Structure 1
Amino acid sequence: MSLNNDQQISGLLFTPYIESTAANNKTVNAIQGYPKAIAEKIYQATRTFPEQTQVAIAVLDQDKPHYYGVQKHKDKIQAQANQDKIFAIGSLTKVMTSTILAELVTQNKIKLDDKINPYYAFPFKDNIQVRFQDLANHTSGLPRLPSNLEVDDDTDPYKEYDAAKLEEYLKNSLELEHANNSGKVPHYSNLAVALLGQSLSQSQNKDFAELLNEYVFKKYGMKHSYTSPDQAAKQLVSAFDAQGKEITTWAFDTFLPAGGVLSTASDLTRFAQAQLDAKNAAVQLTQQATTEQAGSYQLGLGWFVREQENGTKIIWHGGNTAGHSAILMIDLNKKKAVTILANVAVVHPEMGNIEKLAAQLLQE
């Protein structure tokens, strides 16, 4: 997640926000089979979404998952068993990329403070040196996006940005927007995590998709998680823009590590379960705050981390593409996690309801 000039989440997006139509909405709560209080919270959060919107919700509580999927159909919010349907998870992918980093660190294959530069056959512009950790926790000083990424057409903006374009940028245009970041205040960067994934691939001589399969998907039993829309086609939920028009599900090349995974509520619940394993050294490493305070949170490796005065520790990350949105929020003390996936654009004016709903369900 990131914030635009109006303090609104922009993530991987370039499109502007639109005005709310909530006041004129006449959608009916037709949810059956769920606890009444939960059904009402879900209805209030989703009633303004476009027709055919699906929202897949998973609540993991003390090792037991509960699923509360819904779909909007003919102005009714109805229960829908969609925990195995596939959605693009956008920037939530970044936590998985950092998980790979943590796995390699705990296996002594690389170190957090190692420079990535030796893994490239060319010098970076101005001999800029970059560390693995600084890419994972957004303290590298890199801009949000590279200057040679064409964003005039946002129908599928990351599909054509390949390794050759990244190399061109690193050689000729690399810059640090926050070069004097000695205090290690995080500045959210999609470029940083794309570069992290590329560097992990270089360090292990493996494609990034291969690393994802080895260290995340296979390790945690995520059998319905993928790295391209083509792989996920049969179970992929169509992407909708804020007005309910079906649009292209984004594909990724070099920016796959920053936002290209597609997954299900049930698979992400398995990933959440792993975060509660005190014996898993890699996931424990990702959850440790590594930056200064930025508002109410710090950054771990990938995770946003909030430690409250009462000892409660919450970790979370969201994700947004043009037509899908996601959030995973975990209370490490209560051993409870909430996953929400939706096939509606984050630019929808009520999309903030999804994060609020996740927080409400986490507190119950």
Structure 2
Amino acid sequence: MKNILHSLILLIISSFIQVAIAQENEAEAKNRAIFNRIEYFFNSQQPDSIYQLASIDFQKKISAEQMNTVLNQLFSLGKIQEATLQTFEEGKATYKVNFEKETLSIVLRIDTFLNYNYLEFKPFQAVPISKKDSVISNVETKSPLDRYVDSIARNYATQSNAQSLSIAIIHKNKINTFFYGETEKGNQTLPDANTLYEIGSITKTFTASLLAELVNTGIISLDDSISKFLPDSLANNPALQKITFKMLANHTSGLPRMADNWNVGPKFNSSDPYAHYNQQLLFSFLKNFQTKTEPETEYLYSNIGYGLLGELLTIISKKPYQQLLKDSVLVPLEMTSTTDVIDPKNLNVAYPHNEKGEKVPFWNFQALSATGSLKSTLNDMLRYVIAQLTYPESAIQKAMNLTKQYTFFVPPNSDIGLAWHMSMMEDVTYYYHTGNTAGSYSFIGFVPDDKSVVIILSNSSTDIAAIGLNLLDKVLKTK
């Protein structure tokens, strides 16, 4: 009888814990949804719309004029480029927000009516991160460059919320790889060159190559209006008629980072936020889309723009995005592991972990597949980047070459081709892109003139972009 009562008590406690976790996750998702609306209105400079999201009590304390004054000062920092949840405690969410010119923290609390009753902008202070005593690794350090890479990588991998890290360096025609940490927290399993990681927005560079191949074969032109290939219900929208394929590929279309309907509806799941977003929802947003930014006048990173580009490529080619990708890129480059869906039988997988070091699901995609759906390995990414360095002979190499041509200046000191960002380092041009999901971060950077490459794959959401650029700079300086 005692054992039965004990089991019953444990079951009740467990149920209470599960309900509490579910409620907190729901509250966090609702907070993020309101934050995303604020971000959208901020980036389109609509202070009145931001003010309308406030609760009555908030509006009693702060007038619209006061709010407009604050927001107009903040607009000088440029658009919000990225926002990451740092903490969620007692209903208050603190976001690390990267503006074009500065990084701030935004603290947001909402009420039961989904209006915010607390909104604070303050200087960003990084949350102190503890270190692990040690981390398992598979590394050979034969040169000063190897030892430098190991030092930087090990410092990252020993952070308490980091999991695994896979790095490839190409320098003087030699490839060296570095592996650290665990593919899943606590499993004591190192990654290797065939471990599958989410690569997030690096997917966009693949999408740009698909576009470039259609251009090279004369099927479309970069300067064609996308309205020529859209259903009549969208093609009649004057805002879309001004957008070309090049504008989608270099983020100058005027489309926002995300549509305002991406995180609404009963099928939305904050832990897999794009799985529900289908063509119907995408086209519903685009039908009445109006831009406040004239196309090809300003760089505005747009996931929704690349989602639309992917849908257009499937309409033109009459192939699903993944089939088009397989036929044009993956098979020719022998990238046998790159995929959009994880095979449950594949045990060599780097499971995503969030900033708290907690395991989170892989993301799934529908209409936004072209923007961030791919998972890949270090070996496949090496094949991909080596093809970028090779004199263009095959159709896919010629397409890749087109993606690296200059299309637009991005202040303060960089340019963009088709997806690839480019700038100067050590008097040569380097190309790079990053990818970031809820639990993974990736970086790829290369210098064609020097045949230098840095690839980093991580199953932690902790930023590695700065590390990637640091290592690329070191590779170039190492003679």
Please tell me the TM-score bracket, short chain as reference. Answer: 0.7 to 0.9
| Distance (Å, rounded) in 2 between the aligned partners of 1:59 and 1:318 | 16
Q: Name the residue aligned to 1:282.
A: 399
**May I ask how many residue pairs the two structures share in their alignment?**
352
Q: Name the residue aligned to 1:169.
A: 285
Out of 177, 202, 205, the position equivalent to 2:315 is: 202
Q: Which moved more, 1:57-66 or 1:195-204?
A: 57-66
Cα distance, 1:331 vs. partner? Answer: 1.3
Task: Check conservation: 1:27, 1:48, Cα contact below 8 A.
Answer: no
Q: Name the residue aligned to 1:127.
A: 238
Percent sequence identity over matched residues? 25
Q: Which amino acid letter does the alignment assign opposite residue 90 of structure 1?
A: G
Normalised by the size of structure 1, how large is the TM-score? Answer: 0.87
Normalised by the size of structure 2, how large is the TM-score? Answer: 0.67
SS of the counterpart of 2:220? Answer: coil
Could you list the runs of 5+ residues in structure 2 that have no partner in the other structure? Answer: 1-38, 44-73, 87-94, 97-124, 142-146
Task: Check conservation: 2:164, 2:191, Cα contact below 8 A.
Answer: no
Out of 234, 237, 248, the position equivalent to 2:350 is: 237
Out of 202, 214, 217, the position equivalent to 1:104 is: 214
Out of 12, 21, 35, the position equivalent to 2:128 is: 21
SS of the counterpart of 1:247? Answer: coil
Cα distance, 1:34 vs. partner? Answer: 1.9
Cα distance, 1:306 vs. partner? Answer: 0.8
Q: Name the residue aligned to 2:24.
A: none
Q: Name the residue aligned to 1:297.
A: 414
Q: Name the residue aligned to 2:156.
A: 45
Seen in structure 2, the aligned counterparts of structure 1 residues 271 and 296 have a Cα distance that, compared at 3 Å, is same
Out of 171, 174, 177, the position equivalent to 1:67 is: 177
RMSD over aligned CA atoms reads 3.1
Task: Check conservation: 2:212, 2:399, Cα contact below 8 A.
Answer: yes
Cα distance, 1:330 vs. partner? Answer: 0.5
SS of the counterpart of 2:150? Answer: helix
Q: Deviation digits for residues 212-246 of structure 1, max 9, x if unmatched?
A: 10111112111000012347853321111111111
Cα distance, 1:123 vs. partner? Answer: 3.4
Task: Check conservation: 1:89, 1:324, Cα contact below 8 A.
Answer: yes
Could you list the runs of 5+ residues in structure 1 that have no partner in the other structure? Answer: none
Cα distance, 1:30 vs. partner? Answer: 6.0
| Distance (Å, rounded) in 2 between the aligned partners of 1:250 and 1:139 | 26
Task: Check conservation: 2:136, 2:181, Cα contact below 8 A.
Answer: no
Q: Deviation digits for residues 97-155 of structure 1, max 9, x if unmatched?
A: 00111111111121111122122222326332121111000011111111111168531
Seen in structure 2, the aligned counterparts of structure 1 residues 104 and 87 have a Cα distance that, compared at 3 Å, is same
Q: Which amino acid letter does the alignment assign opposite residue 278 of structure 1?
A: Y
| Distance (Å, rounded) in 1 between the aligned partners of 2:255 and 2:157 | 36
Matches within 5 A, 1:349-364: 351=464, 354-360=467-473, 362-363=475-476, 364=478
SS of the counterpart of 1:292? Answer: strand
Cα distance, 1:289 vs. partner? Answer: 1.2
Whichever of the two has the greater Rg, that structure is 2
| Pair 1:138 & 2:230 matched | no
| Distance (Å, rounded) in 2 between the aligned partners of 1:126 and 1:248 | 37
Matches within 5 A, 1:317-356: 317-345=433-461, 348=462, 351=464, 354-356=467-469
| Distance (Å, rounded) in 2 between the aligned partners of 1:176 and 1:201 | 25
User: Which structure has the higher relative contact order (CA within 8 Å, separation 6+)?
Assistant: 1
Q: Deviation digits for residues 319-362 of structure 1, max 9, x if unmatched?
A: 000011101000122111111010011xx4x6555435543554
